[in-house]
Every structure is written in structure tokens, then in C-alpha cells.
Structure 1
Amino acid sequence: MKPIQKLLSNSYICHFIGIFFVVSMLNVLFPFKPETVVNSIWITSGCYLISAIVLPKISTYLLVERKYYILPVVTTVFVIAMSLVFLTRVDYSRSALIYGGSFSFLWFYVTSLLRQESQRLVLFAIPNFDIKGLNKKGKVRVIELRQPYNITDVKGGLVVDLHRNLTPESEKFIADCSLADISVFHAESIKEMLEGKVQTQHLSENAIGTLLPNPLYMTFKRFWESLIIIASFPITLPIMAITAILIKLENPGPAMFIQERVGQGGKVFRIYKFRSMTVKEAGSEDKFATQEQARVTKVGKIIRKVRIDELPQFFNVLKGDMSLIGPRPEQDSFVKQFEQEIPFYGYRHMVKPGITGWAQVVQGYADDTESTTEKLAFDLYYIKNLSFWLDVNIVFKTIRTMLTGFGAK
């Protein structure tokens, strides 16, 4: 088995064999090849290559297990391809594409299990930090270097705590590694990647500029999020209409719940949600959702579990108050409280709040100062690493969350 694993550890060889396997299986299933089958084989090959490119992009974040993303990525790529083919009226075989997608998934999944060890990040460390703490995470292997340090011993990247005292010999070795194009990582940065959150106690030591999102991507993000929302309206608008009717039939009061929340730059805006509770008495104090469970209606329990109550926020996104993906917006009273109790809390307002976010899909719901502090660490990680691929990662995690009800209150 080891020679096979070693062979497949090379991505080019792995995917060359993969395309050969998928095309060969289609040739066996479809010995007679009309134009529709030939076109479908070419489309399948293209979809395979796109999936092979996308999967490692999403799993750049070490928190991600690549095997869990194979099915949604392959399915999404093939569905988009079939939609484009349908629109362009290219002749194709639906059964050939379905078989092609199935064989592609099978190859990606089996090889991901065989390549698991080779895809594990291997780092060599100057032992001035807790190396065992990183190795416990199971997704990275950190090997301790012994003195005298030799640059030929470093086969991958070098990891070191740059904020602790280093000997002149260690400092020279780090410089030599950098000059030799060996990546040098700060131990806390690796810990951030493994845990998916910023260590807020060290935030003052980081350049605040790392929390400034790329303005070019933010413009692109607004465009693609709006496009997705508009394209989804044929499905989501009927769901919204039915939900509104069910809410009105079950309980007296408005179908919509409108509340002021704090958005980008601390600006207050009005957020739209479907009402999932009985109408709140005038003058009642603000409470976390966990403290209001007695007020949740039968319809409310269902729409909260599958996140249908959040659908009206699509209009908040189109208005520009929110994004599809970002830190969840809080009520003004809670923001003022947390800004007093939690250091750096205000930094989460550097980007637009989102309907879903990294903290929601990784941590779940926060309902006190302690869990909100933890949530802030995830929010700052998202802001620091904001990119298209992290957003795609969150989209897939959100779908899983909707199916499992994780974090619903």
C-alpha cells in the first residue's frame, strides 16, 4: 500500500490517473459514442480538473478536513456545468455526466484517504515554545530541531516563537532559512490556523493592518453575493411567502421582526427577520435568545432550525447593510456592554456583518460574555484571513449547519 500512497502523494500523477480512471469507466459504460457522450466526456474531464483545483484552495485552512468537502464541491461543479451546457444548448448525455460525477467523487474520496498523511503539514521547530501543543491537534506534524541547527535538516517550513528570546545562533539560522526560501512561521500563527481563531491576548503584538480587508475583494464580494441572492429568488421568495402565512396563522402579530443592530463602522441599521417568538412586551429588556426559549412558537422552532428565519436579511444584503458572510450583528445594548468587558471587541465592526459567518459554523451560538469572547476570536480570524476561498468554505459549512441544526437557538 505504501508505494501506492507514495505515488499518489504527487498531485499531478494522482489527478492524471484520476482523469484516466474516470474517462475509462465512461468508455466501458458507453461503448457506442454518439456526439452527446463524447461532449459529456469532455465536460466531465473539465469538471474533474476544476474540482481538483478548488478542493485544496478550500482546505488551505488547516481546520478543514478535505474529505468532507469532496461531495459538495464535485456536486456544485457538475451542477453549474450542466446549467451552463443547458443554457448554451450543447448536446450532452445526462446519464454520462451523472456517472462521470459519481466516478470523480469516488476517486477524490478514496485518494484523499490514501493521501491523508502526505497532505499533513510537516514543520521543523526551534524548541522555544510548546511543540506538543501543536502536535496534539493531529493536523500538523512538528519535528523538534536539535543543536547545532543545520539548514539541510529543514525539509518543509520552520516554526518558532518569534516573541520569545532567541540566541544569536537561532536568529542567524532563522535568517539563513528565509534567505534559502524556507517559509518561517510564528508559532502563534500556526496555532491560529489550527484553531481557526485569533489569539486576542496577542492582538496588540500584531500589525493592526492585518485586520484590514482587501478593498478589491470586498467589491467583488458584494457583487457575487448579490448575484447569488437574486438568482435564488425563484426558490427563496415562495419559501418566504409560505413562512409569512404560517407565522400569521399560528400567532397574532406581524410576520416580520425588525430590530436595530450594529453594523460596519459601528453604524446602526434595521435588520429583517421572520418572527419566531410571540410578540415582545413593550419596554422589555434585551435578552439573549437562550433566555427567551419559552416565547418561541412551533413555527419558530422549525424556521430557526433550518435558518429560514434569516431569509429576509437577503434584502439587508441587497441594501448594503450586510453581507451574506461576516460576523453576526449584535444589538446596540450588547455591543456597549461587550466593548466595556472584552478587549478589541470593536474590531469586529471593520467589515459588514453577515447572515452566516465563521464563528457561527465553527463555534455555534454565544449567549454570555465568556462565549462572546471566544466568538470574537473566530470573527477576527475571519477578518484577518478574509478571502473568496474562506467564504466558500463557510458556505459549505453553513449548508451542513442547516442540515444538522448546529448552533440553532
Structure 2
Amino acid sequence: MRTRFVISVGVTDLIAFALAVLAASQVEFGHPFPWEVVDAWPLLGLMTLSMVLMSVLTGWMSGPGVPRPTYGRMAVIAVGTWLMTSALIVALRVEYFSRPLIGLSLLFWLVPATLHRIVRRRRPWTERIAVITREKQLADELLESPHAEVIWVIPPDFVGDLELPERDVTIAVDMGSVLSERMAQFVSSCDVAGYRIRAFSSIYEEHTGRVPLVHVAEGWEISLPLLEVARWLPGKRLADIVFTVLTSPIWIPVALLVALYVRIADPSGPVLFKQERVGLEGQTFTMYKFRTMRPDAEDNGPSFARPDDPRLIRGGAFLRKSRLDELPQLINVLKGDMSLVGPRAEQVPFAREFRKQIPFYDHRHLVRPGITGWAQVNYGYADDEADTVEKLTYDLYYIKHMSPVLDMKVLWKSIWTVLTGAGAQ
């Protein structure tokens, strides 16, 4: 359903963009059809391809049940289309290109496309769900998704009379519960009548981007696609290396400037902060960051990091918010200690305690820790054990659904957060 929604927006964008090109051509050449004036087909093809890719990409990159601000997303599409078109023109050595035609086309497209999104957001796609579960709290959490409408919640041992719901309803069944004979007959009747029957855990994950610990306790390891995870890990490792090496001309000069700033801002301590963290398969490694706190910050032992931490040096808050302090972790990526995307690498003392107190905490060590991650972009800082449990549910979702597309989604949301300050930190 979500995919159909995104594709419909993409098709509308395509039609609006075609009309915008005609209007831009009329302004630029005095003729609505640019291909009759110049050899514009290659340029138009690249513009259209870039616009459609950016339009669909921004739709998929939104988190589960979290609509992005319309105006910000439209700005990303417009700028991304301009940059992608320019890059393709250079890479493919297109002979004819017109900056005014590109700019005017995007400008004329922005107005109807933005209006269309505003209208669609007022009536977003929703999945109507009838839930059969004992986990009333999880069903209530599902209500927080703007794309889920829970019409009723019934326990699996219900023995009363039930009527078939309306046709456009998904029946979500808690597979970890034993159904009463009456409920089993009801689900069977729904199945025969052609209703969509789905596991409640799958629907919950789809709409929230989380795997609650109660679902892990119900045999999550059995459904965990460990083989798929293992197949993706070598490709993920290769992608980490290629990306880090190719972008080194950008991040190395920036890292040198940040190092110089840290030295000037607080010359009393080292530029780099080194700390033992827990990584893949529970192995420890030395993680690097630019120092953003005073040298004596952890004299009384490790503690949770906070956005307004009083131990920060001058400018340390900005370095953290912009993620510039994490640039040295790209060295950890090259060494194989970390990945670009994954669960947060936790301090050894904290990990040791969480392992004792939080069920299934060690599952997050099935993959390499990341510079950024699904939990980080959706939840932000963990100030205590309760927050750590919440972040673990996002980490488990990432591990279960890990893929190149999900990694791109996390990277996209991380870049968006850094550039705009919106979203989790």
C-alpha cells in the first residue's frame, strides 16, 4: 500500500514536470517544444530521470509512519534533481545543456507538486487493521502511526460472537498466542472470505520501525533471516570501504580543520578521544572521535552523553550536533571495526551491565556497530536504561531488515538531520 502511494506521487510528479518543461521552454526559447529548437532530448531525459529518482527516493526514505515536512522534502527533490542532472551531464558528456531551462523547469514544477503533496498529506494512505493480541500496549503504540487505523483490539481467548469486519481491513493475528476455538473459527472465516491475514508482529514492525522485546521472546531468532544478513555483510563491508575511500578528499581536509579547532579551543588535552567499545560478536576495539569534552570529564567514571552535557569544551555541542566529532570513526570503518550504518558502539562498562539487565541485548552485536544507525536517527540519545531498551527495539529492527535500501534510508535521514537539525540527534 505504501509503495502504491509513493509510485502515485512519482507519476504525478512526472506529469507535472513534463508540463513544467513545456512552460520553461516557452520562456527560454519562445516555443513550448524545446526539441524543435535545439537537440534537447538527452538533457530532457536526464532531467526527468533525476527528478523521478529524487521524488521516489524521498518517499521511500521517510521513516515508518513518520511523514516528512513537505516544504523541506520539496527543496531536497529540487536541489537533488539539479545536482544529479549536472553530474550526469558531466559524466555522460552531453553536448547541449541549458541552466535556465533546468532551473525554470524545476521552478515551474515546484508549485503544483508541492500543492499535490499538501493535498495528499491531508488524506494520507492508511491501513485499517483489526488486531487479535494480548499486547494491548503494542496495539496502542500502533495507533501512533499516521498510516495505521486500528478499528478494534480483541484478546486471542475471546469467546463471544464476532461479525466479519468491513472488506478493506487487515486481520493482524498475534502468532505467539493460542487462539480460542471461537477466535480460530473467526480467523478461518476471514481467510476463506478473502481478508488479508497477517502476523501482528510484521504489521507492528512495518508501521513503527521497531521489534519489541516481547516479539523476540516469542522465537524471533527462528524468523531472523540470519542467512540473508550473512550474505549482505560482505557487500556491506565493500560498500563501506568504497564510500570511505572515494569521499576521503572531502572528509580528510574537514577532519584536519576540526582537529585544528579542537587544539585551539582546548589545548589542555589531546585532539583525539580514544575509548574501548564493544563491536561485532562482542569483541572490543578502540574507537576514535574528536574530543568534545574536558580531559577530566570521566575521572569519576563513564556516564551517558547528553546534548547539553556540562563537560563539553567550547564549540563541543556544535561538533556533536553536526557529527563532525565522529569523522575519525571513518578510520574505524577502514580498519573493519565499524560500519557506516549499524547499532551504536557502546562503552564496555555499560555494555557489560546492559547484557545482565536487558534481555537480548547481545543480539545487537550480530553486526558491526555504525557511525550512524536506525536507532540513532529515530530515537536519538539514550540517557538511561529505559532509553537503551527503546533504542534496542530499533536496533533489532535494523538487524532483522538490514539491506542496502535500509542503509541508504539511514544515511539519508542522518544527512537530513545534520543539514536541518530536524529529527533525532
Partner of 1:49: 52
Code of the aligned partner of 1:404: G
Q: Which residue of 1 aligns with 2:157?
A: none
Q: When the two structures are aligned, how many residues end up with a matched partner?
A: 400
Q: Is the 8 A contact 1:41 1:100 kept in 2?
A: no
Distance of 2:39 and 2:296 partners within structure 1: 60
Query: Is structure 2 residue 290 aligned with structure 1 residue 274?
Result: yes
* Residues 1:223 and 2:238 aligned together: yes
Match in the other structure for 1:366: 382
Higher mean Cα deviation, 72-81 or 9-18?
A: 9-18
For 1:46, the aligned partner's letter is L
Q: Where do 1:83-122 residues align within 5 Å?
A: 83-91=87-95, 92-116=97-121, 119-122=124-127
The secondary structure found in structure 1 opposite 2:397 is: helix
How far did 1:160 drift? 3.0
Cα distance change on mapping 1:352 and 1:20 into 2, 3 Å = same
* Residue in 2 that maps onto 1:142: 150
- Cα RMSD (Å): 3.4
Q: Where in structure 2 are the equivalents of 1:311-390 lying within 5 Å?
A: 311-390=327-406
Higher mean C-alpha deviation, range 86-95 or range 65-74: 65-74
Partners of 1:96 and 1:149 in 2: CA distance? 56
Q: What is the aligned counterpart of 1:80 among 84, 101, 105?
A: 84
Offset at residue 154 of structure 1 (A): 2.6
Separation in structure 2 between the aligned mates of residue 51 and residue 263 of structure 1, nearest angstrom = 34
Partner Cα separation in structure 1 for residue 181 and residue 145 of structure 2:
31
TM-score by length of 1: 0.84
Distance 1:105 1:388, change over 3 A: farther
Task: Give the fraction of aligned pairs with identical amino acids, expressed as a percent.
Answer: 29
**Structure 2 residue matching 1:316: 3-state secondary structure:** helix
Q: CA deviation at 1:273?
A: 0.7
| Aligned-partner SS, 2:287 | strand
Q: TM-score, normalised by structure 2?
A: 0.81
Q: Is the contact between residue 9 and residue 115 of structure 1 (CA under 8 Å) also seen in structure 2?
A: no
Contact 2:172/2:200 (<8 A) preserved:
yes
- Which residue identity does 1:88 align to in structure 2? L
Q: Which consecutive residues of structure 2, in runs of 5 or more, have no partner in the other structure?
A: 154-160
TM-superposition CA deviations, 1:290-320 (whole Å, max 9, x none):
4993432113233122111001111111221
> 1:390: Cα distance to partner?
2.3
Which stretch of structure 1 is more off in the superposition, 168-177 or 371-380? 168-177
Aligned 8 A contact 1:325 1:391 in 2: yes
Cα deviation, residue 214, structure 1: 2.5
Task: Give the aligned partner of residue 25 of structure 2.
Answer: 27
Deviation at 1:326, TM superposition (A): 1.0
1:207 aligned residue (220, 223, 227): 220
Shift of the 318–12 alpha-carbon distance from structure 1 to 2, 3 Å rule, reads closer
Which residue does 1:236 correspond to in 2? 251
* Partner Cα distance (2:414, 2:114) in 1: 21
Distance in 2 between residues matched to 1:400 and 1:148, nearest whole Å: 46
Contact 1:63 1:194 in 2 (8 A): no
| Amino acid in the other structure paired with 2:364 | R
